[in-house]
Structure formats: structure tokens, C-alpha cells
Structure 1
Amino acid sequence: MVDRTNADHDVLLTKEAEEQTKNNGLKKKMYKIAFVVQRYGLEINGGAEFLCRDVAEHLSKYCDIDVITTCAIDYVTWKNEYEAGETRINGVSVKRFPVDFPRETKRFDKCSEKVLCKTHSIDEEMEWMKLQGPYSTKLFKFIEDSKDQYDFFFFFTYLYCTTFFGLPLVADKAILVPAAHDEPPIYLSIFNDIFHKPKAIMYNTKEEKDFVIQKFRNGDIPHDVAGSGVSLSEKMESNNSHSLTRKESFITYMGRIDESKGCGELFDFFQRYKKENHSPIKLIMLGKTVMKIPTHQDIKYLGFVSEEEKYNTLQNCDVLIMPSKYESLSIVLLEAWLCKKPVLVNGQCEVLKGQCIRSNAGLWYENYEEFSECLNLLLADEHLRDQLGNEGRKFVDKHYSWETIERKYLDLIERV
């Protein structure tokens, strides 16, 4: 453990946090820990970045945490939008470093087509990695120069430069949270080493763990499966609900509205379903959009909403739908189950399907016919929806309380 004499580095627990620590049976260890992630901010509410923020804020009750990240908000451009330097977000110290260059979309797309679809060289894979971004010389130098200042470095998601170039610099202190799934980039040979370098790995789901260990044969590295905690607190004020979500029957999608998230197929399936069925059901879309949303009287886009509005929408929906084929963990599924709502997911994603099987709280489809049948079944049977939703709530309460997640992260740190 790093010896630190400056008391300014210590995180003082509030009385409430001290009491919670005592009740949870978790001891406060004043480890100094860096969380490294490609983007970080209140405007970023999904994926590995949101998981990183959630875990950082919760572990800050027990450890002294700095987040090391870039000045970018947009993962498509990596444009520097945040001011470089140190700030605090929800009590956590955040150190931002500028990205060296924005992503050149045409060049990146051309390189991606080459390395993901055609015969190519290692040098071309390395070029793809740098174009993937975000590449920050100052961030990498800070990690290298600060190695002795931190006990551990958590790297969130394998896919970006912050992990690919940052983790090897501090491999003997690194814990990887890979957020990996069966997708084309993970088969690039440049990633073979990165899954063998860390001292430990924290997976989000059993499916992710099984896939990574089978793919990289790295089961000897200490590991555990955690995911993310979810809680309701004050977010359940239904009287703040959007008018659309109070008076209509609807299914909802929450997250980045993107072709890569299966939203294009969802729009196609939903519009076909409406043509073939005399159903008043609406599709409510929440989140940042990076693709065109079809003009349809029963597809409503509410945009990027607050946490309160998100939970209120979940409370009022009939079903949450998750059409993505590529997920390492779906936090929004956990949030839906916390609100006792059933889910309908893309069965081609082993993680989503596995979450539904283990929870007994959702259905899945692999084509339009199955999508239509499952949706008809759920919409027609309120008792089934309630039964699945109640099972989901039991599943979340048992496996995804923050007390459980905090304990798993702290136990893995102690093991390392």
C-alpha cells in the first residue's frame, strides 16, 4: 500500500457513510485508486462510462479515488469540450486531459472496413486503435508518471485507447473492467495481450466472464462478477412524469438511439407490428440519438431526460424493450426490474438472454415473428407482466444492491 503523509489526500466519511459502512460490515481502507475511462461526466448516462461513475461514487466512501479521463464528451468525434484540469463531480476528483486529435470519420471507417472484414497487418490494427481513440499523450504520461501515487488503477472497457495504451504502463497495479462481448473488434490480435496483463478482472455478467475466458484463456487471473448496483431513492416521483407517459399505453427503449444498438431493427419491427395488429401501443424513445428516428404517429421521442423522468417512464410503461445484440451488461434492464416491469430483449445477445433466464423476468426474440408473438403475449396478459416484473425485482434485490456490488469490488481489491 502506498505511504501517504498528506492528510489532504484522505477522504473523510460523513456520519451517514460511516454508519452505512458499519452496517454493511465493510471496513474503510484508505487505498488511493485511479479510475481510467475514456469519457466522464453527468451528460454521459450510459455504457461503461456510466458504470465507471456509479462505481467511483460508491467506492469513494471507502477509498480515495481520482478519475483520469479526457476532455471529450462525444465518442464519435472525441472533440475536446470539457476544460482540461481537475474538477469534482458528486464528490469525486476528476482529472481531465486533452485528446491529441479528433476522430477522422472517413479515415476511421475505411480502416475499420479493412481490419474488421479483410486480410490485414498488425500495423493496420494499431492504426485502427489510434483512430478509434481517444488518444491523449498527456493522459498516458500522467498515468506513467503517477504510478507510485496510486495503489490500483481500474480501467473501464477494453475497447478504447485509454485502456489499450494506459493499462500496460501500470499493469502490475491494473484491474480491468472489460465490458466485453462478442463483437468484431475483440477478435483483433492486438487485444490478445491486454486481457493477460492486468492483476485482476471484474466482469459484469457470467456470460461476459465465460466468453472472455474461453476466448483468451486467461482464467488464471483473479476475477469476479459484479455489474452495477441500482437503487430508487427519491427518483420515483410519478407526479413529475411526462404527460405522454401518464395517459397512454406504451413500451419504451432507453439508451443511445443508434443502429449499433439495434434501434434500426426495432423501428422496422415496431412499424410492421403496427400494420399487422390493431393495437394502440406506442413506442417511447429516451436517450441521445445518433440516427434518424422514423416519422410515425406512434413513435415518440422524448430526448435526453433526467434520472427522475427515466424512472417515472419505467413506472408507467408496459414493457421495456432492449434490441441490442452487443451488451456486456444492461443496467436499464436492472432499472426496469427495480420498477417491477417485464422486459423484451434481443435473444441474439447472450448477455441479455442470460439476464432474462436467471431472473425469470423477461422474454426474448431472434426475428420479427418472435418479436410480434412475445409482444402480443406481454400486452395481452397483465398478470404475466406483473409476475415477470415481481421476479425481476427479487432478482435485483438479491444480486444488484449497492451493498453487494461495493463488497465485490472491495473484496477483489483485497485479493489483489
Structure 2
Amino acid sequence: MKKKIAFVVQRYGLEVNGGSELSCRLIAEKLKEKYDIDILTTKALDYVTWGNHYEAGIEDINGVTVRRFETEFPRNQKQFSKCTEEIFRKANRTIYDELEWMKAQGPASFTLIDYLKNHNDQYDKVIFFTYLYFTTYFGLQQLPEKSILVPTAHDEPYIYFSLFKPFFHLPRNIVFLTEEEKNFVHRTFHNQYIPNEVAGLGIDVPESYFSEEEFREKFNVHDPFIIYVGRIDESKGCKELFEYFLNYKKQSDNNIKLVLIGKNVMDIPKHSDIIHLGFVSDEEKFGAIAASELLVMPSKYESFSMAVLEGMYLNKPVLVNGDCEVLVGHCNRGNAGLYYTDFDEFHYCLDLIVNNTNIAHALGTNGHQYVINNYSWNKIEELFIKAIESI
């Protein structure tokens, strides 16, 4: 009889393309042949409000049972922003202030937490994705003795809240995505004694995707371009990326464009050299990456970055924010990209790659081999199975 495993994650669905949520879905689908898997999640699709979008309480997605629970308190973004500002301004904030912030952070689903508490005996192990959210913070405390935490942690202000100090000592096993994440969590919480694995994620590339010609024809992009893939958000470094790119264009006489793929939650400058394609299919996305000069990732706060590894897999050099240890680690271990910490470095690195075919080719070739060597699904599955079986 298969062991029954629950995955707890804030959102889940084919339309959900957030990093940790997608990671959860891919891993659950890879493990479904070995384990009987339930996904415990909310009815939210939108991470800004956590409003109840999905109607079905139970559904099957790619052979995995998904149990959805109401978000009792959808988030008001203005009120949440005010709450966040106040808690950072409050020098003498208490644990109660932080707990109120966690409730506002959401997605606040007390029915999901009650389900975990009342169905504890049904599950052999429970895997929680992302330390930051209500569902993980309160859910893991219901059955820590069965818990595996995939924290997707990075150096950001929230992780220093006092409520997380005991939390990171509760899981029976922790699965990190990178060595940098592991080192950061151990350095911050001194929980090295908890068994752990560094598993990462496998990279899924469609068997066929758009050729460069097909991509350029469909989207009318005929000049050379660099590409950003992900949520277009100030917290992802996109505001700085726009500023740097437009300053670069003022100082350069080339015709390179910046192509953006992903949902925007901030205003995008109206400029002929910035092209926003919105949400596209995987076949279109990989065709776009393959047609680009390089993939840029401006975020300071990444715990893994599938987009960077997808770019590497497709033999593209990457240009990343040098303030992100995880991204710098990928570049250095793979000898596959460059990184910047200010505009001058951004300008120099971008010029170096787009104007030197040999350097771009070498970085791209190195990156492809780095992904092949480290992020095959067979290896990732083995490490998750080891974590499940070792508790």
C-alpha cells in the first residue's frame, strides 16, 4: 500500500505559475506513481488578494487529487501594505503584532488548518512549501512530527520576524533548493541539526517549441533582444531593470530590445524598445528564450530561479543581480553568466555579452552542461524520496 503524502501550498493549478507553487506541482506530479498524494491548498488564484477563484472543493489535476479550501479573509492590498509599513516602523513590535501581520499576509484559510488538525492520522508525511505564508506557518504547527519543509527562503526583511525563530526548528526534515539557501537558513536560525537535503528542481522543456523564425514572426520581434521571464513586479527588481535598460539605450547605439514575458503588477514604461508579451504558452516561452541574446534576472530575492536555469539549458548566457547569493552561485558554479550590482556593471556586462559571440557561446555551453549535471528529475526525485523515507 502506498504511503499517503500531503503537499500544503498557498495556491495550486495549471494557471498558477509562481515559483514555489509551480515547484510544488512539478514535484507532486513526479512522485504520484510512488505515493498517494493529496494537495491541500486554497481556492485562490490571485496572490495579491487571495480571493476565492476556484469553485470545486476537490478535483483531479494531472492525476493528483487537489483539495481546495476557502480563503476566509481575502486580502485588501492597501490595508496589507499599511500593516506592513506599520510593523516595520514599530521598534517595539511584539509577537502578537507579527501574528496579526501573518493573518493579513494570508492566505488565511482556517478551514485548511482545521482539516490538517482533524485528519492528521490520514497522512504519513506532510510537505509544506514556502515558509512565508499563513498555510505553512500555522499548518506545520499542527503536525510537526510528520513535516517536511521546503522553505524557499532568502534574505528578506520578513524572515527576521521573531515568529520564525522557533518555526524553523519544528520540521523533521528540510529540503533546500540551493546550497546558498541552506547556508543562509543555518546561519540565521542555527538549525543545522535538522536532517536536510539540497534537491533543487528539474527543468522541463517541451519536446518541441517555437523556432526563432516562428517566434519572431508571431510576435513581430525582429531586432536582437534580451529577455526577462517572470512576474513583472518591483519586488522582482523590474523597476531597476527598466531604469538600467533605458539608461543603457541612451548611451548605446545598438538596436537591442528588452522582451518581457509574464504578468505585470506594476506599470511598464511605454517605450519602443520594451516589449511586453504577457502570458504565453511554454512552447512560445522557450522559443522566445532560444531566440534571445541572453536572459536577465534582476531580482535580489531568489531561492532558486527556474527561469535562469531554463535560459542556461537553452545555451543562453544569463545576466543576474549580484546582490542575490543564489543567482551568483548559479553563475559561478556553472561558469555560465555575469552579475552586476550597479548600472555601470550592468552596462559593461550587457555590452560584453551582446558584442562578443565567443564569450556568449562559451557561457551558454557551460550553462547547459551545468543544468544537465545538477538538475535532472531522476536526481531530484531521489532526494525527495530520501527526505520522505528518512523521518
Deviation track 1:142-166 (CA, whole Å, cap 9, x = no partner) reads: 1111111111100000000000110
Work out the CA distance in 2 between the residues paired with 1:51 and 1:240. Answer: 29
Work out the CA distance in 2 between the residues paired with 1:329 and 1:245. Answer: 32
Correspondence for 2:182: 209
2:301 is the alignment partner of 1:329: no
What displacement does 1:242 show? 4.7
What secondary structure sits across from 2:202 in the alignment?
coil
Task: Please report the TM-score for the alignment, with normalisation by the length of structure 2.
Answer: 0.97
Work out the CA distance in 2 between the residues paired with 1:386 and 1:300. Answer: 25
Work out the CA distance in 2 between the residues paired with 1:240 and 1:276. Answer: 31
User: Structure 2 vs 1, CA of residues 129 and 235 (structure 1 numbering), >3 Å: closer, same or farther?
Assistant: farther
Residue pair 2:216, 2:222 contacting (<8 A) in 1 also: no
Work out the CA distance in 2 between the residues paired with 1:407 and 1:245. Answer: 43
2:254 is the alignment partner of 1:293: no
Residue pair 2:95, 2:162 contacting (<8 A) in 1 also: yes
2:173 is the alignment partner of 1:173: no
What secondary structure sits across from 1:87 in the alignment?
strand
Task: Give the counterpart of 1:357 among 317, 332, 335.
Answer: 332
Q: Tell me how many residue pairs correspond in the alignment.
A: 388
Deviation track 1:377-409 (CA, whole Å, cap 9, x = no partner) reads: 000011111111111111111110111111111
Residue pair 1:38, 1:162 contacting (<8 A) in 2 also: yes
Residue pair 1:346, 1:366 contacting (<8 A) in 2 also: yes
Residue pair 1:73, 1:81 contacting (<8 A) in 2 also: yes
Correspondence for 1:18: none
Instruction: Kindly provide the amino acid, as one letter, of the partner of residue 35 in structure 1.
Output: F
Correspondence for 2:62: 90
Work out the CA distance in 1 between the residues paired with 2:191 and 2:363. Answer: 36
Instruction: Kindly provide the amino acid, as one letter, of the partner of residue 149 in structure 1.
Output: Q
Task: Give the counterpart of 1:198 among 159, 171, 191.
Answer: 171
Deviation track 1:136-194 (CA, whole Å, cap 9, x = no partner) reads: 11111111111111111000000000001100101100000000000000000011111
Deviation track 1:171-225 (CA, whole Å, cap 9, x = no partner) reads: 1000000000000000000111111101100001100000000100100000010
Correspondence for 1:20: none
User: Structure 2 vs 1, CA of residues 245 and 143 (structure 1 numbering), >3 Å: closer, same or farther?
Assistant: farther
What secondary structure sits across from 1:251 in the alignment?
strand
- For residues 336-351 of structure 1, what are the structure 2 equivalents within 5 Å? 336-351=311-326
- For residues 26-105 of structure 1, what are the structure 2 equivalents within 5 Å? 30-105=2-77
Correspondence for 2:383: 408
Residue pair 1:33, 1:150 contacting (<8 A) in 2 also: yes
Instruction: Kindly provide the amino acid, as one letter, of the partner of residue 89 in structure 1.
Output: I
2:215 is the alignment partner of 1:241: yes
Task: Give the counterpart of 2:100 among 122, 127, 143.
Answer: 127
Task: Give the counterpart of 2:87 among 96, 103, 115.
Answer: 115
Deviation track 1:294-338 (CA, whole Å, cap 9, x = no partner) reads: 000010000011111111111110000000000111111111111
Correspondence for 2:288: 313
Task: Give the counterpart of 1:259 among 234, 238, 243.
Answer: 234
User: Structure 2 vs 1, CA of residues 303 and 118 (structure 1 numbering), >3 Å: closer, same or farther?
Assistant: same
Residue pair 1:245, 1:317 contacting (<8 A) in 2 also: no
Identity score, percent: 51
Work out the CA distance in 1 between the residues paired with 2:214 and 2:39. Answer: 33
Residue pair 2:215, 2:288 contacting (<8 A) in 1 also: yes
Deviates more, 1:34-43 or 1:116-125: 116-125
What displacement does 1:118 show? 2.8
Residue pair 1:48, 1:156 contacting (<8 A) in 2 also: yes
Deviates more, 1:165-174 or 1:44-53: 44-53
Residue pair 2:206, 2:282 contacting (<8 A) in 1 also: no
Correspondence for 2:358: 383
Residue pair 2:148, 2:387 contacting (<8 A) in 1 also: no
Correspondence for 1:21: none
What secondary structure sits across from 1:327 in the alignment?
coil
User: Structure 2 vs 1, CA of residues 135 and 56 (structure 1 numbering), >3 Å: closer, same or farther?
Assistant: same
Residue pair 2:209, 2:282 contacting (<8 A) in 1 also: no
Task: Provide runs of 4+ in structure 1 moved above 6 Å.
Answer: none
Work out the CA distance in 1 between the residues paired with 2:146 and 2:322. Answer: 37
Work out the CA distance in 2 between the residues paired with 1:190 and 1:242. Answer: 49
What displacement does 1:114 show? 2.1
What secondary structure sits across from 1:202 in the alignment?
strand
What displacement does 1:235 show? 3.9
Work out the CA distance in 2 between the residues paired with 1:181 and 1:361. Answer: 22
Correspondence for 1:227: 200
Instruction: Kindly provide the amino acid, as one letter, of the partner of residue 234 in structure 1.
Output: E
Work out the CA distance in 2 between the residues paired with 1:245 and 1:277. Answer: 23
Work out the CA distance in 1 between the residues paired with 2:308 and 2:220. Answer: 18
Task: Please report the TM-score for the alignment, with normalisation by the length of structure 1.
Answer: 0.91
Work out the CA distance in 1 between the residues paired with 2:38 and 2:383. Answer: 20
Correspondence for 2:129: 156
Unaligned runs of 5+ residues in structure 1 are 5-29
Output the aligned Cα RMSD.
1.2
Work out the CA distance in 1 between the residues paired with 2:316 and 2:264. Answer: 24
